[in-house]
């Protein structure tokens, strides 16, 4: 009995420190499994099964992404004033319907309309999710956010494995199953949120500006820096695979290995590292650490072009290991600064703005990385490394600036500690 109780307690600690934490972890995990199913096969479905030209698919998704950028801030404000849970559930319902509608798409126009509806709902859901995470996180928000991201990464990995099986089959039925599976994940995520408490809406101070986040200069600067640092994500998913195939002697299986190393390393280390980064002061230092790690990883990736086959493979895997460590520090810094700067009654609005900056950076990333970095070769990698290091170096000063402008005594204490 004692062993069973201890085992059960250990399982609960791994899955969450409270009932609401476990609910949100389960909901997020379920949704990300569905995302993993769809994301790995979406482009191939529209090009190979539906028969749309790749250029049309790219244009439709780009238009949808750009339009969706504008929904996060008003969606976050709505979550602050009406409650994060109902707003997120409504957005998830729209995502479920729009995802299921993709199986009916047969033209570029239809894809653009359906994808735009999904992106608008995704922006609203992202902002509401941020506000909900703050309420559920309680007294140890950093630990909870790190644990949540661990399970999110694990969900994507499992979903991607399922997508691989469907891709191997290559039939329309297999692809449709992936799409409907993702749609079901949105619906199940919404249903699981019903198990969360009804958190009361926090009253805003009198005369608060509707767009408070836009007047918060430290947060605006952080949003820009965070969006720019977000270029590090496509380095592994887009830039490095092209570099390996076109400029190195590394075996082609290295491309698959780097994804496995990146995902598994983040799963294994996110909670251990992220749970220690709780305050904006911690976040500023973590942002600097991330920049320094990218300063090491990017030149190592470039060196692979000058090494023989097995040495090139080793350099690539070592670089991805260091880069993944930087990713964990960068995401943990984003949690500490992004949530720590925002007042509790306006978390949704602030997370909407932060999401806008991050998504804008992701939209620009493919063009920047493929033209500037690949175009310049090794010099481009060194320029990218210096760029990341410079962004990270601004972290501690940004945290101190933010601390001086926060009204709360806890954040001011962080500044004194720095």
Q: Which of 197, 231, 186 is nearest to 327 (CA)?
A: 231
Residues in Cβ contact with 78 at an 8 Å cutoff, skipping those fewer than 6 apart = 87, 124, 128, 348
Here the tokens at position 63 are 């238009």
Contact indicator for 117, 205 with CB cutoff of 8 Å: no
For Cα atoms 160, 179, 26, give the angle at the middle one, nearest 5 degrees: 60
Whether 198 is covered by a domain: the verdict is no
> In terms of domains, do 163 and 226 share one?
no
Reported confidence tier of residue 232, pLDDT bands at 50, 70, 90: very high
Residues in Cβ contact with 23 at an 8 Å cutoff, skipping those fewer than 6 apart = 136, 192, 193, 195, 196
> In terms of domains, do 264 and 158 share one?
no
> In terms of domains, do 42 and 163 share one?
yes
Domain closes at, from 128, 162, 193: 193
Domain closes at, from 140, 162, 193: 193
> In terms of domains, do 123 and 52 share one?
yes
Here the tokens at position 345 are 């009654």
Whether 319 is covered by a domain: the verdict is yes
N- to C-terminal Cα separation, the chain: 47
**Mean pLDDT to the nearest integer, 232-250:** 85
> In terms of domains, do 170 and 35 share one?
yes
> In terms of domains, do 413 and 319 share one?
yes
Contact indicator for 394, 266 with CB cutoff of 8 Å: no
Name the residue range of residue 371's domain.
213-417
Indicate which CATH number applies to the domain containing 127. Answer: 1.20.1250.20
> In terms of domains, do 293 and 358 share one?
yes
> In terms of domains, do 186 and 221 share one?
no
Q: Which of 331, 325, 323 is nearest to 283 (CA)?
A: 331
> In terms of domains, do 403 and 275 share one?
yes
Whether 384 is covered by a domain: the verdict is yes
How many structural domains comprise the chain?
A: 2
Asked if residue 209 has pLDDT above 80, the reply is no
Here the tokens at position 65 are 């992404």
CA quadruple 355, 361, 365, 367: dihedral sign: positive
CA quadruple 415, 351, 20, 345: dihedral sign: positive
Contact indicator for 402, 319 with CB cutoff of 8 Å: no
Whether 2 is covered by a domain: the verdict is no
> In terms of domains, do 50 and 107 share one?
yes
Whether 222 is covered by a domain: the verdict is yes
Reported confidence tier of residue 207, pLDDT bands at 50, 70, 90: low
> In terms of domains, do 224 and 335 share one?
yes
Q: Give the separation between CA 396 and CA 281, rounded to whole angstroms.
A: 7
Q: Give the separation between CA 133 and CA 351, rounded to whole angstroms.
A: 11
Name which residue leads in pLDDT, 256 or 408.
256
Q: Which of 130, 385, 149, 165 is nearest to 265 (CA)?
A: 149
Whether 9 is covered by a domain: the verdict is no
Whether 346 is covered by a domain: the verdict is yes
Q: Which of 238, 366, 222 is nearest to 284 (CA)?
A: 222
Question: Could you report the per-residue pLDDT of 283-327, keeping only the tens digit for each?
Answer: 999 999 999 999 999 999 999 999 898 898 899 999 999 999 999
- pLDDT, the chain, mean: 84
Whether 3 is covered by a domain: the verdict is no
Question: Could you report the per-residue pLDDT of 74-112, keeping only the tens digit for each?
Answer: 888 788 888 889 999 999 999 999 999 999 999 999 999
> In terms of domains, do 352 and 394 share one?
yes
């Amino acid at each position: 009995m004692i062993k069973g109780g201890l085992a059960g307690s250990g399982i609960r600690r791994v899955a969450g420190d409270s009932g609401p934490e476990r609910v949100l972890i389960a909901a997020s995990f379920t949704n990300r499994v569905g995302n993993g199913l769809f994301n790995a096969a979406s482009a191939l479905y529209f090009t190979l099964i539906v028969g749309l030209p790749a250029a049309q698919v790219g244009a439709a998704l780009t238009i949808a992404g750009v339009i969706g950028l504008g929904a996060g801030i008003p969606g976050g404000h709505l979550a602050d004033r009406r409650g994060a849970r109902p707003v997120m559930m409504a957005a998830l319902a729209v995502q479920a319907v729009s995802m299921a509608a993709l199986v009916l798409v047969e033209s570029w126009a239809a894809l653009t309309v359906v994808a735009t509806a999904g992106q608008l709902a995704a922006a609203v859901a992202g902002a509401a999710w941020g506000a909900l995470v703050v309420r559920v996180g309680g007294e140890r928000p950093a630990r909870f956010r790190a644990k949540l991201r661990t399970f999110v990464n694990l969900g994507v990995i499992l979903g991607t494995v399922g997508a691989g099986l469907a891709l191997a089959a290559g039939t329309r039925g297999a692809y449709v199953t992936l799409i409907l599976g993702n749609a079901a994940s949105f619906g199940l995520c919404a249903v699981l949120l019903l198990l969360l408490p009804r958190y009361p809406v926090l009253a805003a101070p009198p005369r608060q500006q509707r767009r408070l986040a836009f007047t918060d200069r430290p947060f605006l600067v952080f949003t820009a820096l965070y969006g720019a640092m977000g270029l590090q994500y496509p380095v592994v998913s887009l830039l490095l695979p092209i570099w390996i195939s076109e400029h190195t002697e590394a075996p082609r299986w290295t491309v698959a290995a780097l994804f496995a190393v990146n995902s598994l390393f983040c799963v294994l280390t996110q909670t251990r590292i992220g749970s220690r980064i709780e305050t904006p002061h911690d976040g500023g230092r973590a942002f600097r650490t991330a920049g320094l790690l990218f300063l090491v990883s990017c030149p190592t990736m470039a060196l692979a072009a000058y090494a023989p086959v097995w040495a090139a493979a080793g350099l690539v895997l070592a670089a991805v290991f260091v880069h993944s460590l930087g990713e964990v520090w960068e995401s943990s810094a984003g949690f500490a600064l992004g949530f720590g700067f925002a007042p509790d009654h306006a978390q949704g609005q602030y997370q909407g703005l932060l999401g806008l900056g991050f998504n804008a950076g992701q939209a620009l990333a493919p063009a920047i990385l493929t033209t500037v970095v690949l175009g310049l070769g090794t010099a481009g990698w060194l320029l990218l490394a210096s760029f990341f290091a410079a962004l990270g170096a601004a972290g501690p000063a940004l945290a101190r600036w933010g601390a001086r402008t926060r009204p709360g005594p806890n954040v001011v204490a962080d500044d004194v500690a720095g």
